[in-house]
Amino acid sequence: MPPSSSFQGPKGTRDFYPERMAIRRHVEAAWRSASIDSGFCEIDGPMFEHLELYTVKSGGEIVSQLFSFRRDGGEDDYALRPEFTPTLARMAAARGKSLPVPTKWFSMPSLFRAERPQRGRLREHVQWNVDVLGVEDASADVEVISTALLALERLGLGPDQVKVRLSHRESIAEVLKALGVPDQNLPEAFQLLDRRDRMDESDFRGSVQGLGLDDSAIERFDKAAGLTRPLDDPPEQLAQLLGVPVSALEGLGELTEGLRSAGLADWCVVDTGIVRGLAYYTGAVFEIFDAGRAERAIAGGGRYDRLVELFGGPPTPACGFGMGDVVLSLVLEELGLLGEQPGADLIQPPDVFVVSTSESGDVFTGRLLTDLRRSGLHARRSHKSTRNLGKLLSEASRAGARHAVVLGDELAGGEVLVKDLEAGSQVVVPLEGLSAALAGGLES
């Protein structure tokens, strides 16, 4: 009888069988090592927050995008966290002026969004967040971007596979105002820029017209929405293309210069259509894309200098990014960076595999496994009832073990047979020194 649908995983979520869990841990290991090597400390917060934490900055319309709830008989409204930045800002506000400068934090929380699942976007995912607080200049933005690229590089990606598309909201605001967009319409104009790639031509032009622009300004707005330039292009050239003075692009220029100085120019392009949809961004913004399929963002972030203050803390400059595991894992798999058997090749093989061909060996197996594991070795055993050594060694080879310890007749003399499954050789080893011999890289 097939299982009831009520016993299947919720729509938009994942079950992590060993192969998928190995991929997740592989990605998380790169995230964590890049964070720590770049001087960030790990934090976390509750899986659910007061609903007001999200509505205070995004308005009540965000509630439809969240998994929100109220405890039976309770009075408080909560929501499963859809992002981590508000939690981080709340935590920073609670510490106030006692935070060191700079404060460098990273986290890897599970996040939840009540939206229609699609390829690369689920209702639950793991996200890597990296943030610098307390630094006003572009060095902090460069720091978080370089940390993101360090992790991607450790996963096997390079500037031919991924690109950082970056911009600056204050610079783009100057461009929009030069086109004739009134200050009160800037938020709507930012939303249009953010959604440009997901709108058809007629809808986009109609929405731009609603900003009060004439035909000439609409053409220039459309151009600004899709303008990309190499990082090494002179700023005067970009300013001329956008029809603004170079001074209007000052913030963007500081960021691009910092990235060039850090040796990251090959990874980056200027994209004036990148503004990020969330209203709390205040300055530099960026998204990291799969270069093969530009519609897929692997990560996104920017500067949010007023968010900590919004949650009751002191004025605190801040910037950071979030990188989800879903799209990143798809990119790694499509590029063949997860092995021939994605996930299976990432499962840690045992150092030694114990098999028994005698009754005395059966009795001793448990004790030997304990001793091997206490010595720091990854040791497994066979649970097959067969005494056929060939079948037992085949099992050890399939598990990926290099050495197999055979508990057979040699036990009577206080020795065991150790087979090197890669070299096809074997040697008899005193039982008393077996752990040390294996830990030291036993030579046959």
Using DSSP's 3-state secondary structure scheme, residue 177 falls into: helix
CA 217 to mean position of chain CA atoms:
38
Cα distance between residue 108 and residue 106, in whole Å: 7
| Structure-block tokens of residue 416 | 């065991």
Sign, CA dihedral 47-52-57-63, equals: positive
Does residue 341 belong to any structural domain of this protein? Answer: no
Q: Are residues 366 and 327 in the same domain?
A: no
Q: Are residues 24 and 90 in the same domain?
A: yes
Residues 6+ apart with CB under 8 A from 80: 47, 48, 66, 67, 68, 112
Cα distance between residue 149 and residue 310, in whole Å: 30
Residues 326, 137 contacting (CB under 8 angstroms): no
Does residue 149 belong to any structural domain of this protein? Answer: yes
From 281, 301, 334, give the residue that closes a domain: 334
Predicted confidence at residue 444, as pLDDT, reads 44
Indicate the residue type of 177: K
From 302, 334, 366, give the residue that closes a domain: 334
Predicted confidence at residue 46, as pLDDT, reads 97
Predicted confidence at residue 142, as pLDDT, reads 97
- CA-nearest of 423, 415, 364 to 397 is 423
Tell how strand 284-290 and strand 318-324 pair up: unpaired
Q: Are residues 247 and 308 in the same domain?
A: yes
Rg of the chain over CA atoms, in angstroms?
28
Phi and psi angles of residue 65, each rounded to the nearest 5 degrees, phi first: -95, 0
Q: Are residues 209 and 97 in the same domain?
A: yes
- Interior CA angle at 307 toward 302 and 311, to 5°? 155
Q: Are residues 327 and 396 in the same domain?
A: no
In this structure, which long-range contacts are made by residues 202-211, counting pairs with CB atoms below 8 Å and at least 24 apart in sequence?
211/181, 211/182, 211/185
Domain span at residue 99 reads 12-334
Question: Which CATH number covers residue 390?
Answer: 3.40.50.800
Does residue 162 belong to any structural domain of this protein? Answer: yes
Residues 132, 320 contacting (CB under 8 angstroms): yes
- CA-nearest of 347, 374, 410, 333 to 155 is 333
Does residue 339 belong to any structural domain of this protein? Answer: no
Q: How many residues appear in the chain?
A: 444
Indicate the residue type of 198: R
Predicted confidence at residue 140, as pLDDT, reads 97
Q: Are residues 147 and 201 in the same domain?
A: yes
Q: Are residues 312 and 423 in the same domain?
A: no
Q: Are residues 66 and 137 in the same domain?
A: yes
From 334, 357, 392, give the residue that closes a domain: 334
DSSP line for 289-354: EETTSTT-EEEEEEE-TTHHHHTT-----EEEEEEEHHHHHHHHHHTTTTTTTTTGGGSPPPSEEE
Residues 147, 34 contacting (CB under 8 angstroms): yes
Whole-model pTM? Answer: 0.90
Q: Are residues 291 and 412 in the same domain?
A: no
Q: Are residues 328 and 355 in the same domain?
A: no
Query: H/E element holding 37?
Result: helix 18-37
pLDDT tens-digit map of 382-441: 999 899 999 999 999 999 999 999 998 888 788 899 999 998 899 998 988 898 888 776
| Structure-block tokens of residue 382 | 């066979």
Residue 202's Cβ-count burial label (10 Å; 0-12, 13-18, 19+) is: exposed
Q: Are residues 421 and 330 in the same domain?
A: no
Residues 218, 227 contacting (CB under 8 angstroms): no
Which stretches of the chain score pLDDT less than 70? 1-6, 59, 277-278, 294-295, 441-444
Question: Which CATH number covers residue 216?
Answer: 3.30.930.10
Residues 309, 316 contacting (CB under 8 angstroms): yes
Cα distance between residue 285 and residue 165, in whole Å: 9
DSSP line for 207-228: HHHTTT--HHHHHHHHHHHT-E
CA 269 to mean position of chain CA atoms:
21
| Integer angstrom CA distances of residue 348 from 24, 64, 340 | 13, 42, 15
pLDDT tens-digit map of 280-326: 788 999 999 998 775 579 999 999 999 999 999 999 999 999 999 99
Does residue 242 belong to any structural domain of this protein? Answer: yes
- CA-nearest of 174, 184, 62 to 115 is 62
Predicted confidence at residue 338, as pLDDT, reads 94
Cα distance between residue 257 and residue 255, in whole Å: 5
Q: Are residues 329 and 354 in the same domain?
A: no
Find residue 176's DSSP bridge partners. Answer: none
Query: H/E element holding 139?
Result: helix 139-154
